[in-house]
């Protein structure tokens, strides 16, 4: 897997010597306008990377080729497959067991719904648990909801839905209180003042105020631990691990009424029927768009987008992905693994093979990543064992703030240990890694999609981040919209129930594919990345 | 997932009954994948070591007693024998309602009521040995049983929910869940940041309006 | 011929009745000629009947040869494994022959601390032992034992914690010392460092019960009780798909076929014989091809299995080997003490896989995973619990693979 157009860079030993001689690294002017930098070097803009969708609600919209192939694929199921399938009934079906799915399930159950949560892997496994940096909420005296609102819009290049962003930032402080009530801890400015003190706030890239709340550098883990227990103990939620959705169920009027799940353990189909269905399946990093490594969880294969799109839900900004600046470039066995933005927030610099700083490290992620890709493309990267990257200068950070690596950047130190070096003495070799799907299912402020009966929350949705997400808005989004979608779903489930449930949407979908000249050979969703060595067809195979 | 590695002598190991070869430096999980074996469970964050999904039992050549590890973190070694371990959910939930826990004077009673097994710890240290993160699990259990909730909570800071201690505990104490109980109680009962409470008051009083049409909410006019 | 289970000897805690039926004779001979005790046991060929089959005289000699005045004897009556129900019978029905054997051991090894270590879940045995021990305290023979070893005899009952693992030698030592019965690594062996780190002789109830008879009737008499090269009688705990399950005292070396089809009355409902789980049930299964095997330590070992406690759980056509194996591994998983994660977690993992196979939820790759575990788990514990679980798993998987394969998902 290689991304084209990169030269060999500067050898590791020479680059290390240049870094050592120049530290702390002097800055070199960028010399390019932000717009030109993004156009020239951001992977979203690489020539030939996007194709136009030719079928479905977003016909004519640009989309990465790999994702388009999945979005415009045919179902794995036929009507006859539903015969004899096990049937489960619930008020609300939640697809996905990451942060958004757990919050939505809790909200729906507490609103009185009987909830069924189906997950592909295990409840709690997802990108949420891997989130390191933190969660944004405008709680500082100098900060305001308005500033959070404008920062989010600006970072997203004003492509976001203002009403959604207002809902996101407006619910922010209450989301933090909700998390504390669920038993999640946060770092304090002074750990002795648990009551009446102040939360520790950091400034995320692209923000005008210190607004990032965190729990050490494993905020997502702390959040997910509390949510996992909450879901396990919440009466009214049943969890089905190992049950990925293969298709949404629709009724004869097009309303979504649940999903067909594949029971991976018993290799059988389960029809989960529900008054409302919440899509919380997360992102698409494991598609390795443009050949990039990814920081994402194993299950991030865009399944929810594929199912929702096929059933008639509209998507937005499907051509916009976030590349996190600091994925590990070397050693190979950790390639793509994330080094939290907390390192740069704390003051760690990015340094090229010549020992120069080349970007303001706390600029928005798309800008930093593009600047890094430019360095790599123009031969100023650092080459080591065939891997190309740039230095993240942890030794200078430790020198300037002694003890910071051990105390505040534990995950980073742990990763360095596993990579076999001391981050206080040797810089990390990093390069951008595919991190987040900026776009997704279009929703309203209640979490409803355009398809009746189908709601969504979390990374699978679009409209909140425009064309670039700010650090700390993903965790916030999953709490805010998980709660909103859960409550809406519980209310919707009390409405009229779907009738004549089945795969009613597939006939029209297939006609559309054929009309667009696409054929029905390609099947989706993917479920597992290719190196999982198993296809959905393998999983569906039964005895003759 | 890159294929431009400098080739070393391949390592040989046995993983769930499959004899396979692996390049030096890869994790056990990467070795499984590279061998073309199907992976539909026991996998999650793939290297970050935070999700606890890829539990394995590992025995190195010459070792008598196998150890536990996370497959995404453990490098493959020559002659290893490896077995995936299923996720072991607790047998019965230790049920409690965090929001109903308002009387902090009753913490010791609450712990005893929800986790009555905790005081039966037989001090076998199996949980300590099973923890891939090196948490002193048994000490946490004992502290929690004595009502020293915050000390217990702190010890469980590095837990990744692999539940190996739950599988390892012969008294069904479910240490991972007890640890989370203490952590959640700690936060829910004592974390009351003034800045957050102040902002919530302002919002509830309508003092934090959001203007959708403010100048900063639209692209700056290009000149 | 019934020796241990002779109805005439089943006098419970009544010491006078025991003495009236020849009790005390063995102990008197031992007291008269202490130096001959161990040679007589050696000549008799008495072996440990708790499962290991270790020559009894060697254990006794080892303890006798240790320095220092403080020595212990533990009469191990913790019996708790599935399918074994012999010791509880002896302790409840005829405790005095066990105690007399233990006192002879005290004389032979110079141990003043004698403990009847009993399973509290066997209430009848516990009551009988307490009463029997009380009766011995004032008996002249007890005083004679004190005199012979030059220390005051301390004979008492200690109730175990009831955990299966408390039957393991080092677990029993820990339990007698008041701790949880955690097994520990050996060496040091209990004969060197047992209770209070002092030399400790640990013998199974059935083993000690034979001793008084051997001393009374002589080594030749005892040897002649067995068939072929085997000596004495054996209590076989017969259970499973036979017509007459129960405790059968038969000559050591009785053929399996005779045990099942003569003494056991044959297979239940005329079903074909399929296999036997032996003593533990932590050993390699015996199958139809083994029906001719003589049930003694050497002969069974020659078939690649072990006699174990003498428990024979018979499985007939129609009974699932997979189901039975799942039950036994679940027993081991539940009773693993927790000290060694590969034992606790490994047996749990095996148990889970067996359970899902048995309930129709098996997965592709489960058999390979089971085989892998059966290879990597042995040796992974301080005691032999995990080895036993791995052995019975490996054996059932090898011999009855078709049953396992039938439980796999097709496709």
pLDDT in tens, A213-245: 999 989 999 999 999 999 999 999 999 999 999
Residues B90, B175: Cα–Cα separation, whole Å: 10
Q: What is the pLDDT of residues A268-321, one digit of tens each?
A: 999 999 999 999 999 999 999 999 999 999 999 999 999 999 999 999 999 999
Q: For residue C408, count CB atoms less than 10 angstroms from its CB and return exposed for 0-12, middle for 13-18, buried for 19 or more.
A: middle
Q: Is A226 on the interface with B (CB under 8 A)?
A: yes
Q: Is the pLDDT of residue A5 over 70?
A: no
Residues 29-88 of B with CB under 8 A from C: 38, 57, 59, 64-68, 81-86, 88
**What pLDDT shows up at residue B222?**
66
Six-digit token pair at A128? 């949420």
Contact B209 A125 (CB under 8 A): no
A219, containing H or E segment: helix A219-233
Q: Which 8-state DSSP code applies to residue A104? A: H
What residues contact residue A17 under an 8 Å CB cut-off, 6+ apart? Answer: none
Contact C411 A542 (CB under 8 A): yes
A183 interaction partners in chain B (CB closer than 8 Å): 98, 180, 183-188
Q: What is the pLDDT of residues A343-398, one digit of tens each?
A: 998 899 999 999 999 999 999 899 999 999 999 999 999 999 989 999 999 999 99
Closest approach of A268 to chain C, Cα-based (Å): 10
Query: Which range among A118-122, A540-544, B71-75 shows the weakest confidence by mean pLDDT?
Result: A540-544
Contact A124 B161 (CB under 8 A): yes
**What pLDDT shows up at residue A177?**
98
Instruction: Measure CA of the first residue to CA of the last residue in chain B; give whole Å.
Output: 46
Closest approach of B64 to chain C, Cα-based (Å): 6
Which residue in A365, A408, A431, A467 is the catalytic one? A365
Beta strands across the sheet bearing B11-15: B18-22, B11-15, B81-84, B55-59, B67-70
Give the pLDDT band (50/70/90) at residue A23.
confident
Q: Is C342 on the interface with B (CB under 8 A)?
A: yes
Give the pLDDT band (50/70/90) at residue A7.
low
Q: What is the pLDDT of residues A157-188, one digit of tens each?
A: 999 999 999 999 999 999 999 999 999 999 99
Contact A177 B186 (CB under 8 A): no
Residues A450, A440: Cα–Cα separation, whole Å: 13
Nearest-by-CA chain A residue for B195: A198
Sign of the torsion angle spanned by Cα atoms B173, B175, B180, B181: positive
Q: Is A365 a catalytic residue?
A: yes
Q: What is the pLDDT of residues C37-82, one digit of tens each?
A: 999 999 999 999 999 999 999 999 999 999 999 999 999 999 999 9
What residues contact residue B223 under an 8 Å CB cut-off, 6+ apart? Answer: none
Contact criterion met (CB below 8 Å) for A307 and A279:
yes
Contact C338 B66 (CB under 8 A): no
Residues A542, A539: Cα–Cα separation, whole Å: 8
Mutate to test the interface with B, among C174, C175, C184, C341 (most CBs of B within 10 A): C341
Residues A200, A187: Cα–Cα separation, whole Å: 5
Contact C361 A266 (CB under 8 A): yes
- Neighbouring chains of A at 3+ CB pairs within 8 Å? B, C
Q: Is C68 on the interface with A (CB under 8 A)?
A: no
Q: Which 8-state DSSP code applies to residue A43? A: G
Closest approach of B48 to chain C, Cα-based (Å): 24
Give the pLDDT band (50/70/90) at residue A48.
confident
Q: Which 8-state DSSP code applies to residue C263? A: I
Residues C158, C130: Cα–Cα separation, whole Å: 9
Closest approach of C397 to chain A, Cα-based (Å): 21
B65 interaction partners in chain C (CB closer than 8 Å): 340, 342, 379-381
Q: Is the pLDDT of residue A496 over 90?
A: no
**What pLDDT shows up at residue B2?**
41
Hey, how many other C-beta atoms are within 10 angstroms of the C-beta on C16?
A: 11
State percent of chain A over pLDDT 70.
98
- Neighbouring chains of B at 3+ CB pairs within 8 Å? A, C
Candidate CATH numbers 3.30.360.10, 1.10.357.10, 1.10.1060.10, 3.30.70.20; the one for domain B98-196:
1.10.1060.10
Contact B211 A146 (CB under 8 A): yes
Residues A533, B18: Cα–Cα separation, whole Å: 15
Residues B29, B27: Cα–Cα separation, whole Å: 5
Q: Per-residue DSSP letters for A272-291?
A: EEEEEEEE-----GGG-GGG
Q: What is the pLDDT of residues A30-44, one digit of tens each?
A: 889 999 999 999 999
Say yes or no: do domains B11-84 and B98-196 share a fold.
no
**What pLDDT shows up at residue B5?**
46
Residues C117, C126: Cα–Cα separation, whole Å: 9
B160 interaction partners in chain A (CB closer than 8 Å): 221
Single out the residue of B73, B87, B43 nearest to residue A299, CA to CA.
B43
Hey, how many other C-beta atoms are within 10 angstroms of the C-beta on C58?
A: 15
- Compute the CA torsion angle B118, B121, B127, B129 (nearest 10 deg): 160
| CA neighbours closer than 13 Å in the CB half-sphere of residue C95 | 30
Single out the residue of B89, B107, B85 nearest to residue B98, CA to CA.
B107
Instruction: Count how many residues are written for chain B.
Output: 223
Strand, helix or coil for residue A540: helix
CATH class of B11-84: alpha beta
Rounded to 10°, the helix B175-190/B137-145 angle is 60
Single out the residue of A259, A255, A174 nearest to residue A496, CA to CA.
A255
Tokens 């905790």 belong to which residue? B118
Q: For residue A542, count CB atoms less than 10 angstroms from its CB and return exposed for 0-12, middle for 13-18, buried for 19 or more.
A: exposed
Residues B41, A505: Cα–Cα separation, whole Å: 30
Contact C344 B126 (CB under 8 A): yes
Q: Which residues pair with A385 in a beta bridge?
A: none
What residues contact residue B62 under an 8 Å CB cut-off, 6+ apart? Answer: none
- Compute the CA torsion angle A17, A23, A26, A32 (nearest 10 deg): 60
- Compute the CA torsion angle A418, A423, A425, A427 (nearest 10 deg): 100
Rounded to 10°, the helix B107-114/B175-190 angle is 150
A531 interaction partners in chain B (CB closer than 8 Å): 1, 33, 39
User: What is the count of residue pairs from A and C with beta carbons less than 8 Å apart?
Assistant: 14
What residues contact residue A187 under an 8 Å CB cut-off, 6+ apart? Answer: A199, A200, A213, A214, A215, A216
C323, containing H or E segment: helix C321-335
A154 interaction partners in chain B (CB closer than 8 Å): 216
Q: Which 8-state DSSP code applies to residue C259? A: I
Contact criterion met (CB below 8 Å) for C3 and C122:
no
Q: Where are the alpha helices (DSSP H) in C94-204?
A: 95-109, 123-137, 140-149, 169-176
**What pLDDT shows up at residue B4?**
44
Give the pLDDT band (50/70/90) at residue A2.
very low
What phi and psi values does residue A81 have, to the nearest 5 degrees? -65, -20
Q: What is the pLDDT of residues C195-252, one digit of tens each?
A: 999 999 999 999 999 999 999 999 999 999 999 999 999 999 999 999 999 999 999 9
Closest approach of B2 to chain C, Cα-based (Å): 27
Contact A541 C411 (CB under 8 A): yes
Average pLDDT (A124-153) is: 96
Tokens 């916009």 belong to which residue? A320
Single out the residue of A165, A97, A90 nearest to residue A468, CA to CA.
A165
Six-digit token pair at A94? 């939640």
Contact A174 B203 (CB under 8 A): yes
Strand, helix or coil for residue B157: helix
Average pLDDT (C387-400) is: 97
Q: For residue C139, count CB atoms less than 10 angstroms from its CB and return exposed for 0-12, middle for 13-18, buried for 19 or more.
A: middle
C-alpha angle C152/C158/C164, rounded to 5°?
Answer: 145
Average pLDDT of chain A?
94
C385 dihedral zone (left: phi>0; alpha: psi -120 to 50; beta) = alpha
Q: Is the pLDDT of residue A4 over 70?
A: no
Q: Is the pLDDT of residue A543 over 60?
A: no
Single out the residue of B26, B157, B134, B49 nearest to residue A415, CA to CA.
B49
Residues A350, A393: Cα–Cα separation, whole Å: 6
**Which residue ranges make up each domain of chain B?**
11-84, 98-196
A116, containing H or E segment: strand A115-118
Six-digit token pair at A274? 């529900």
Q: Which 8-state DSSP code applies to residue A496? A: P
Rounded to 10°, the helix C366-376/C341-358 angle is 150
Closest approach of A313 to chain B, Cα-based (Å): 26
Q: Which residues pair with C190 in a beta bridge?
A: none
- Compute the CA torsion angle A181, A184, A189, A194 (nearest 10 deg): 50
Residues A49, A64: Cα–Cα separation, whole Å: 6
Average pLDDT of chain B?
93
Six-digit token pair at A227? 């949510």
Q: For residue C70, count CB atoms less than 10 angstroms from its CB and return exposed for 0-12, middle for 13-18, buried for 19 or more.
A: middle
Instruction: Count how many residues are written for chain C.
Output: 411
What phi and psi values does residue B55 have, to the nearest 5 degrees? -70, 135
Average pLDDT (C346-368) is: 94
Q: Is the pLDDT of residue B191 over 70?
A: yes
**Domains present along chain C, CATH in parentheses:** 7-224 (3.40.50.11540), 233-314 (3.10.20.600), 321-406 (1.20.1440.230)
Six-digit token pair at A458? 């979390």
Nearest-by-CA chain A residue for C365: A265
Strand, helix or coil for residue C48: coil
Hey, how many other C-beta atoms are within 10 angstroms of the C-beta on A467?
A: 21
Q: Is B16 on the interface with C (CB under 8 A)?
A: yes
Instruction: State pTM to two decimals.
Output: 0.94
């Amino acid at each position: 897997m290689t991304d084209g157009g990169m030269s060999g860079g500067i050898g590791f030993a020479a680059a290390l010597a240049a870094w050592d001689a120049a530290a702390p690294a002097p800055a070199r002017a960028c010399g390019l306008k932000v717009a030109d930098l993004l156009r020239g070097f951001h992977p979203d803009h690489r020539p030939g990377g996007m194709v136009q969708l030719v079928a479905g609600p977003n016909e004519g919209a640009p989309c990465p080729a790999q994702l388009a192939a999945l979005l415009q694929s045919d179902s794995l199921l036929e009507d006859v497959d539903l015969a004899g399938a096990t049937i489960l009934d619930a008020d609300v079906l939640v697809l996905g067991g990451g942060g958004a799915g757990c919050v939505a399930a809790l909200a729906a159950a507490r609103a009185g719904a009987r909830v069924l949560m189906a997950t592909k892997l295990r409840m709690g496994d997802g990108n949420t648990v891997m989130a390191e940096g933190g969660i944004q909420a405008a709680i500082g005296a100098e900060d305001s909801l308005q500033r959070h609102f404008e920062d989010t819009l600006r970072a997203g290049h004003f492509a976001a839905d203002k009403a959604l962003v207002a809902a996101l930032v407006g619910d922010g402080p209450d989301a933090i209180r909700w998390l504390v009530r669920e038993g999640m801890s946060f770092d304090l400015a002074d750990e002795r003042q648990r009551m009446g003190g102040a939360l520790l706030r950091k400034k995320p890239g692209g923000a005008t105020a210190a607004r990032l709340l965190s729990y050490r550098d494993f905020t997502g883990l702390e959040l997910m631990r509390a949510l996992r227990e909450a879901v396990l103990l919440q009466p009214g939620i049943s969890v089905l691990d190992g049950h990925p959705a293969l298709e949404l169920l629709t009724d004869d009027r097009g309303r979504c009424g649940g999903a067909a799940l594949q029971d991976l353990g018993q290799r059988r189909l389960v029809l989960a029927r529900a008054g409302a269905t919440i899509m919380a399946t997360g992102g698409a990093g494991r598609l390795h768009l443009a050949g990039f490594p990814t920081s994402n969880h194993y299950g991030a294969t865009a399944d929810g987008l594929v199912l929702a799109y096929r059933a008639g839900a509209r998507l937005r900004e499907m051509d916009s992905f976030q590349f996190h600046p600091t994925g590990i470039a070397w050693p190979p066995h950790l390639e793509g693994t994330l080094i939290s933005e907390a390192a740069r927030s704390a003051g760690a610099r990015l340094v090229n093979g010549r020992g120069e700083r080349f970007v303001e490290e706390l600029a928005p992620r798309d800008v930093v990543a593009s600047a890094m890709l430019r360095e790599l493309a123009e031969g100023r990267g650092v080459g080591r064992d065939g891997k190309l990257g740039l230095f993240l200068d942890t030794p200078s950070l430790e020198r300037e703030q002694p003890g910071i690596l051990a105390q505040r950047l534990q995950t980073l130190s742990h990763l360095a240990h596993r990579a076999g070096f001391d981050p206080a003495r040797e810089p990390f070799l990093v390069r951008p890694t595919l991190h987040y799907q900026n776009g997704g299912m279009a929703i309203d402020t209640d979490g409803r999609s355009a398809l009746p009966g189908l709601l969504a929350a979390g990374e699978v949705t679009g409209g909140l981040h425009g064309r670039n997400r700010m650090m700390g808005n993903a965790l916030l989004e999953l709490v805010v919209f998980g709660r909103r979608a859960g409550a809406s779903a519980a209310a919707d489930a009390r409405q009229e129930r779907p009738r004549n449930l089945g795969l009613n949407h597939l006939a029209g979908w297939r006609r559309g594919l054929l009309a667009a000249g696409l054929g029905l050979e390609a099947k989706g969703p993917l479920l597992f990345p290719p190196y999982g060595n198993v296809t959905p067809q393998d999983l569906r195979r039964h005895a003759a | 997932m890159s294929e431009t590695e400098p080739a070393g002598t391949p390592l040989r190991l046995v993983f769930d009954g499959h004899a396979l070869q692996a390049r030096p430096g890869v994790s056990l999980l990467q070795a499984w994948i590279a061998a073309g074996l199907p992976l539909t469970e026991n996998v999650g964050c793939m290297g970050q070591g935070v999700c606890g999904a890829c539990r394995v039992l590992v025995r190195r050549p010459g070792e008598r007693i196998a150890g536990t590890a996370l497959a995404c973190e453990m490098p493959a070694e020559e002659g290893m024998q490896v077995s995936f371990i299923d996720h072991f959910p607790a047998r019965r939930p230790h049920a409690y309602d965090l929001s109903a826990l308002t009387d902090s004077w009753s913490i010791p009673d609450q712990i005893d009521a929800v986790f009555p097994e905790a005081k039966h710890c037989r001090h076998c240290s199996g949980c300590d040995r099973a923890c891939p993160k090196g948490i002193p699990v048994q000490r946490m259990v004992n502290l929690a049983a004595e009502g020293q909730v915050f000390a217990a909570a702190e010890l469980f800071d590095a837990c990744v929910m692999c539940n190996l201690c739950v599988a390892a505990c012969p008294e069904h104490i479910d240490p991972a869940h007890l640890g989370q109980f203490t952590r959640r109680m700690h936060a829910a009962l004592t974390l009351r940041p003034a800045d957050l409470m102040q902002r919530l008051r302002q919002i509830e009083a309508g003092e934090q309006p959001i203007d959708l049409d403010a100048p900063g909410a639209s692209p700056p006019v290009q000149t | 011929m019934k020796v241990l289970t002779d109805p005439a000897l089943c006098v419970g805690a009544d010491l006078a009745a025991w003495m009236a039926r020849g009790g005390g004779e063995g102990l008197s001979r031992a007291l008269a000629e202490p130096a001959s005790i161990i040679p007589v046991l050696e000549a008799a060929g008495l072996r440990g009947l708790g499962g290991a089959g270790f020559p009894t005289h060697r254990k006794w000699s080892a303890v006798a040869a240790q320095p220092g005045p403080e020595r212990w004897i533990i009469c191990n009556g913790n019996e708790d494994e599935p399918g074994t129900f012999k010791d509880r019978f002896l302790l409840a029905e005829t405790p005095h022959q066990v105690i007399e054997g233990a006192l002879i051991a005290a004389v032979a090894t110079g141990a003043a601390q004698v403990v009847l270590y009993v399973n509290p879940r066997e209430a009848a045995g516990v009551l009988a032992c307490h009463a029997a021990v009380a009766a011995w305290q004032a008996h002249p023979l007890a005083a004679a034992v004190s005199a012979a070893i030059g220390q005051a005899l301390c004979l008492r009952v200690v109730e175990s914690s009831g955990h299966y693992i408390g039957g393991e030698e080092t677990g029993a030592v820990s339990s007698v010392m008041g701790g949880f019965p955690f097994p520990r690594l050996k060496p040091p062996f209990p004969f060197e460092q047992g209770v209070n780190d002092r030399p400790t002789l640990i013998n199974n109830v059935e083993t000690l019960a034979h001793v008084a008879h051997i001393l009374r009737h002589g080594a030749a008499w005892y040897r002649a009780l067995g068939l072929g090269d085997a000596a004495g009688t054996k209590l076989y705990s017969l259970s499973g798909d036979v017509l007459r399950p129960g405790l059968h005292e038969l000559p050591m070396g009785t053929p399996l076929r005779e045990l099942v089809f003569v003494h056991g009355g044959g297979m239940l409902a005329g079903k074909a014989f399929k296999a036997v789980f032996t003593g533990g049930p932590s050993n390699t299964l015996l199958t139809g091809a083994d029906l001719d095997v003589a049930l003694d330590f050497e002969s069974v070992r020659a078939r690649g299995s072990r006699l174990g406690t003498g428990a024979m759980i018979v499985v007939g056509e129609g009974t699932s080997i997979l189901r039975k194996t799942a039950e036994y591994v679940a027993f081991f998983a539940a009773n693993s003490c927790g000290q060694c994660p590969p034992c606790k977690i490994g047996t749990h993992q095996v148990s889970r896989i067996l359970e899902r196979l048995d309930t129709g939820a098996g997965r592709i790759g489960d058999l390979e995973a089971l085989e892998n575990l059966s290879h990597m788990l042995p040796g992974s514990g301080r005691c032999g619990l995990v080895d036993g679980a791995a052995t019975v798993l490996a054996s059932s998987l090898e011999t009855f693979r078709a049953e396992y394969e039938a439980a796999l998902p097709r496709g």
